[in-house]
Amino acid sequence: MKSNSGDCYVAIIGAGPYGLSAAAYLRASGIETRVFGEPMSFWEKQMPKGMCLRSNFGASHIADPRQELTLDSYCRQNGNHLSKPIPLSRFVDYGQWYQRQAVPDLDRRLIRSIELDARGFKATVSGGESFTARRVVVATGINAFASRPPEFDGISSALASHSSEHNDLTKFKGQRVVVIGGGQSALESAVLFKDAGVEIEVIARRRVLNWVGLHPELHHLGPISSLLYSTRDVGPAGISRLVAVPRLFRLLPRRLQDRTAYRAIRPAVAAWLRPRLADVAITLGRNVISATASGSRLRLKLDDGTERLVDHALLATGFRVDISRYQLFSPSLLKGLETVNGYPVLKRGLESSIPGLHFLGKPAAWSFGPLFGFISGTEFAGNELASSIGRNGKNWPANEPNG
């Protein structure tokens, strides 16, 4: 399946956990693969310094087919250990170490556009170079899907910004900031603000906070725990086992899939963060109904009639998948994609309605379940992708027409 002039059989767009893991599985299967993007860029540049992973150690390995690139291997080769919970900075370093082992020839340029081509797909790289790929794997993460509440439409980023726009919250020192949201990102950002000397308040719609890990003893009951919880660490007892098997999850009635997925990934906060929130002002059960600029500050009105005058609002309001927000797809390609609520509809092999176009990570969650919003989903994704592409393309030359 070798090709000339930079053409390739599979092009992977994105060099985060899913893109790197997919490359490791495909290459181990002898499938020619090129990978594009900055390694771990979202984790390094769009998550605040000082954060920790919510997932436990066992569910934070970036999967590889030989199980040689685990967090344990990283620690052994670097002569150090990882504290628990895992610091974000160390996970980024681990991901970059994984990249050097599995994808040393990573192309750090960005893919600017993807369009259909007689031989598959034509990809254009930053700088203008183009090449052809028989298949394209989209593993670009969630950056394009940042969700901003409509109440903040028209408010400049100087006064209200999404949490993904920052990797250093210390620049707000001495200011008064409101964090909007009730999940891990919101509450951990609030703690980091507090530690940086920022006057902080959290405002969330939910009336109570959901906590993860308040009863760790349930994970140490031997065979009983194995029946209740998967090592993938996604979802509460029982549901954890179900969502860990995407092929089984796909067999459920759609309504049950949706209810189960929400229960597995509803906004929640890790129990280890609870002591650090002791001095953080948290207002629950309230909605912001309007946001207006007031000079150099921001005035927020809540649904109970109270107001807040702050220097900034951090919107820790999550991400909403909508693949039309990917700017790299041509209009004709987008038109041919079958979607539901912004998610691509995927079949076996994580393949979309356009043959040869695959999606990994969060965009795959509607078709394969909530496991795909977590690092622990990389193992299933890598196996599924390599199995499908290997089965369908082992004898298909890279220059044979698509169809």
Are 8-144+321-393 and 150-210+267-315 equal in CATH topology? Answer: yes
The alpha carbon of residue 377 and the mean position of all alpha carbons in its chain are separated, in whole angstroms, by 11
Cα separation, 82 vs 103, whole angstroms: 23
Task: Give the pLDDT confidence score for residue 312 in this predicted structure.
Answer: 98
Contacts of 261 (CB under 8 A, 6+ apart): 243, 365, 369, 370
Task: Give the pLDDT confidence score for residue 221 in this predicted structure.
Answer: 72
In terms of Cβ atoms closer than 10 Å to its own Cβ (0-12, 13-18, 19+), residue 276 is middle
pLDDT above 80: residue 230: yes
The rounded mean pLDDT for the chain is: 93
How do the domains of the chain map onto residue ranges? 8-144+321-393, 150-210+267-315, 211-265
CA-wise closest residue to 22 among 132, 126, 99, 94: 99
Report the topology of domain 8-144+321-393: FAD/NAD(P)-binding domain (3.50.50)
pLDDT above 50: residue 360: yes
pLDDT above 70: residue 400: no
Which residue's entry shows tokens 């066992």? 58
Q: What is the pLDDT of residues 238-247, one digit of tens each?
A: 899 999 999 9
Q: Give the pLDDT mean for 101-117.
A: 96
Confidence band (pLDDT; 50, 70, 90) for 5?
Answer: low
pLDDT above 70: residue 3: no
Q: What is the pLDDT of residues 173-186, one digit of tens each?
A: 999 999 999 999 99
141 token code pair: 């993460």
Report the topology of domain 150-210+267-315: FAD/NAD(P)-binding domain (3.50.50)
Task: Give the pLDDT confidence score for residue 217 in this predicted structure.
Answer: 66
Q: What is the pLDDT of residues 255-271, one digit of tens each?
A: 999 999 999 998 999 99
pLDDT above 90: residue 314: yes
Q: What is the pLDDT of residues 331-359, one digit of tens each?
A: 999 999 999 999 999 999 999 999 999 99
